[in-house]
Amino acid sequence: MKTKTGKPECKLIGEDGNVFNLIGIASRTLKEAGLREQATEMSQRIMREADSYDAALQIIMEYVEVE
């Protein structure tokens, strides 16, 4: 389900906080919403640009609406 921002809702709160787990959940959410290219782009950006856990979360939040 997409929100007003056009991003799909993604339940990350209460999940295992391992960054790779969160990337996987967000990626799966994007793919289920028909946004396969964005899922790939998000994962690549995190691996290339994120130099911290917080930076990775910020990138994830650009693609999904965290709930």
The two structure tokens encoding residue 42:
């998000």
Interval 29-47: pLDDT, tens:
999 999 999 999 999 999 9
CA-CA-CA-CA torsion for 43, 47, 51, 55, nearest 10 degrees? 0
DSSP character for 33? T
Q: Kindly tell me if the per-residue pLDDT of 22 is higher than 90.
A: yes
Do residues 59 and 46 make contact, with C-beta atoms less than 8 angstroms apart? yes
Round to whole Å and give the CA distance between 55 and 37: 21
Amino acid identity for residue 31 in this structure:
K
Residue 5 binned pLDDT confidence (cut-offs 50, 70, 90): confident
Domain boundaries, the chain: 9-66
Amino acid identity for residue 42 in this structure:
M
